Amino acid sequence: MSALWSAIDAVNAVLLSVPVLLALLGIGLLFSVWSKFCQYRSLTHGVALCAGRGIETAHGAGALSHFQALTAAMSGTVGLGAIAGMAIAVDFGGPGAVFWMWLVGLVGMALKTTEVTLSLLYRDTAEDGNPHGGAMYVLRNGLARIHPRLAPLARCAGGFFCLALLLFAFTGGNMFQTWTVADTTREYFGVPTWITGVVLAIACGVVILGGIRRIGGVTSFLVPLKCGVYVLCGLYVILHFADRLPELFRLIFHGAFSKTEASGAFAGGVMGTAFMWGMKRALFSSEAGLGTAPIAHSAVKTPEPVTEGVVAGLEPFIDTIFVCTVTGLVVLSTGVWDRAPAVGWQTPPAIVRTAGGWAPQLDRLPPGAPAELHSDGAPVFVVVEADGRRERLYGSVHLRDQGPTIDWQPLSAAATPRMAEGGLFADYRGATLVAKAFDAVQPGLGRWLITLAVWVFGLSCIISYGYYGEQGVIYLGLARHVRLYRLLWCCAAAAATFGFIQTSVQLDAISTVGMGFMYAINLPLMLVLGGRAMRAYHDYFRRLKAGKIARVAKDLPVTGSRPLQGPDDVKPWRS
């Protein structure tokens, strides 16, 4: 099993390396400038479209309203990445990770607008009421229009994207969500993780069998509810510690460009640590430039492709800049990110070499350990100094006849590590860390709020990614096997809770393994065809300003213009 995790880490180290992340920021900045900062349009015209006060869309192809398409996509983006993902970023990257998350959110609005506009330009509307779109259709239809000889290559590239999509859907969109829900439920209610996995699998299967219309109906109810309740409670916690906010913002900006000293459970980090964790988790949460959200947006009913691109720009703002910020400030303000040990010791245990590496010579819980550690499977860690850097050495508590014992996951190091902190820490993984932060303000608040939130967030995200993966199966020509795919999807949700994932590091690794492959395809595609999206974007607002597009509110007459249906309708744009 260790070989598998090493292989996953090696893939992530290459495909989500610093140069790749910097390139993503650069492309996002390019489209921000090219569109004359479309972020403003999303926050104004995009909101109007969602509220039904934009343009007339009754005569467009598609199945969902702008609001339903946005919530269907956001059920995937505003999932547990906004809770567990952001908690992991702060847990390992420190306060500076929040800054890089903000930056991804801002440029991500431009990336999302561009990729969704492209998806609407090249979507397949042949099947009435069930359109298909996404990066694979942009590849197949867009590159072929550049030159017919590119058609075979475009189809193959589209197929490879679908394989990467399925990998990411099963790991990040399914297993990450299920594992987080199961872990939080086990922590607070003692429910065995496999039971949670089975319940989620059944609930997910009931919804995805209904197709995109049922998904749109369910998510249009769940997304506003889950965001509203979670944000309101998060603001309550933040305001409770309002006096700490100036210092927190200082830490955020300082940690983004300087070293953050180790303290308690936080192992310390430099600028690169904050950059990597903030970028990775923000990309996982917002999916900006990833190519997944356009699949849901392609089901929108509109005659103008640009309208949904503008609406899609709201996603990174709501998810990354708003909801993730609430999570980050809750974790930071309550101090759970650099908490003290759950139980200390007078004399630190020796660290000895074992068959698999180094491990503490501590096989029983120290005296005075809190009740939360006296449960089977409770995760723990110690902080050690190994090869010149601080690291966590993980273990888990198991209830045996002779009492609670600890099984350690040995750490590889050239020299003998030494204890860096004076005690044993409870490992609050992902969403559980956020729950403990809420509990710090009002005992029991995290127990009920976060448990409910992770169930709603996780279920809605699993549903959306189930649909994304299904579209990949259909593109690969396996539509007759969709029922088999749905069965495998539900089985994977349950399988994730059977002990395969054990630590936050493993949780991060498996949730991002497919992202790099998708970015490797979608970002170059956006550079090649992004010009068409930008021409359509500027042409749409030129016609809107000239009164050539009928508005709902004012019911303005159309003066000699027709809707854009595809990229061939776009005329060259000149400023």
- Residues 6 or more apart whose CB falls under 8 angstroms from that of 202 comprise 490
- What pLDDT digit, counting tens, does each position of 355-413 carry? 889 999 999 998 889 988 988 889 999 999 999 889 999 999 998 888 889 999 999 99
- What pLDDT digit, counting tens, does each position of 158-180 carry? 999 999 999 989 988 888 888 88
Residue 3 lies in a domain: no
The closest of 565, 533, 558, 530 to 543, measured between CA atoms, is: 558
How far is the C-alpha of 121 from the C-alpha of 116, rounded, in Å? 9
How far is the C-alpha of 125 from the C-alpha of 130, rounded, in Å? 7
DSSP-derived letter for residue 17 is S
Under 8 Å between Cβ of 514 and 171: yes
φ, ψ for residue 303 (rounded to 5)?
Answer: -90, -10
Q: Do 332 and 349 belong together in one domain? A: no
Q: Do 391 and 416 belong together in one domain? A: yes
The widest CA-to-CA distance across the chain, in whole angstroms, is 84
Residue 439 lies in a domain: yes
The boundaries of the domain holding residue 360 are 343-421
Residue 8 lies in a domain: no
**Region 15-34 average pLDDT:** 90
233-235-237 Cα angle (round to 5): 75
- For residue 174, the one-letter residue type is N
Residue 519 lies in a domain: yes
Percent of the chain with pLDDT over 90: 41
567-317-117 Cα angle (round to 5): 5
Q: Do 95 and 183 belong together in one domain? A: yes
The closest of 508, 110, 103, 114 to 321, measured between CA atoms, is: 103
Tokens describing residue 185: 């439920």
Q: Do 51 and 174 belong together in one domain? A: yes
Q: Do 132 and 274 belong together in one domain? A: yes
How far is the C-alpha of 367 from the C-alpha of 390, rounded, in Å? 25
Distance of CA 32 to the CA centre of its chain: 22
Which pLDDT score is estimated for 485?
92
3-state secondary structure (DSSP) of residue 566: coil
Residue 559 lies in a domain: no
Under 8 Å between Cβ of 272 and 255: no
φ, ψ for residue 304 (rounded to 5)?
Answer: -120, 110
DSSP code string of 413-434: -SS--EE-SSEEEE---THHHH
Q: Do 334 and 360 belong together in one domain? A: no
Neighbours of 568 (CB within 10 A): 9
- What pLDDT digit, counting tens, does each position of 243-290 carry? 999 999 999 999 999 988 888 999 888 778 888 888 887 887 788 888
| Last residue within a domain, chosen from 354, 389, 421 | 421
Alpha-carbon torsion angle 282, 287, 290, 296, nearest 10: 180
- Residues 6 or more apart whose CB falls under 8 angstroms from that of 9 comprise 509
Most confident of 171-180, 221-230, 287-296, 342-351: 342-351
Which pLDDT score is estimated for 507?
66
Q: Do 84 and 179 belong together in one domain? A: yes
**Region 43-59 average pLDDT:** 82
Q: Do 490 and 394 belong together in one domain? A: no
Residue 182 lies in a domain: yes
φ, ψ for residue 411 (rounded to 5)?
Answer: -105, 135
Q: Do 415 and 464 belong together in one domain? A: no
pLDDT-based confidence at residue 26 (cuts at 50, 70, 90): very high
3-state secondary structure (DSSP) of residue 378: coil
Percent of the chain with pLDDT over 70: 89
Question: What is the pTM for the complete model shown?
Answer: 0.84
Q: Do 449 and 401 belong together in one domain? A: no
State the helix-helix crossing angle for 445-475 and 431-441, rounded to 10 degrees.
160
- Give the side-chain half-sphere CA count within 13 A for 402: 5
Q: Is the pLDDT score of 567 beyond 80?
A: no
Under 8 Å between Cβ of 394 and 502: yes
Structural domain tally of the chain? 2
Q: Which helix (H) or strand (E) holds 404?
A: strand 403-408
3-state secondary structure (DSSP) of residue 398: strand
Neighbours of 539 (CB within 10 A): 19
Q: Do 62 and 178 belong together in one domain? A: yes
Residue 4 lies in a domain: no
| Last residue within a domain, chosen from 355, 388, 421 | 421
- For residue 60, the one-letter residue type is G
- What pLDDT digit, counting tens, does each position of 62-97 carry? 667 888 778 767 766 666 678 888 888 999 999 999
Q: Do 202 and 86 belong together in one domain? A: yes
Under 8 Å between Cβ of 108 and 319: no
Residue 282 lies in a domain: yes
Q: For residue 130, give Cα distances in angstroms to 115, 149, 297, 567.
A: 20, 29, 12, 20
Beta strands in 324-402 (DSSP E): 343-344, 351-353, 358-360, 379-386, 389-400
How far is the C-alpha of 565 from the C-alpha of 302, rounded, in Å? 9
Tokens describing residue 164: 């990467």
Q: Write down the residue that tokens 């509110």 correspond to.
A: 553
Q: Any idea what the CATH number is for the domain that residue 70 is in?
A: 1.20.1740.10
| Last residue within a domain, chosen from 421, 453, 488 | 421
Q: For residue 512, give Cα distances in angstroms to 37, 41, 129, 209, 438.
A: 29, 30, 33, 27, 27
How far is the C-alpha of 558 from the C-alpha of 575, rounded, in Å? 23
DSSP-derived letter for residue 443 is T
Give me the sign of the Cα torsion angle 276, 279, 282, 285: negative
Which pLDDT score is estimated for 71?
74
3-state secondary structure (DSSP) of residue 300: strand
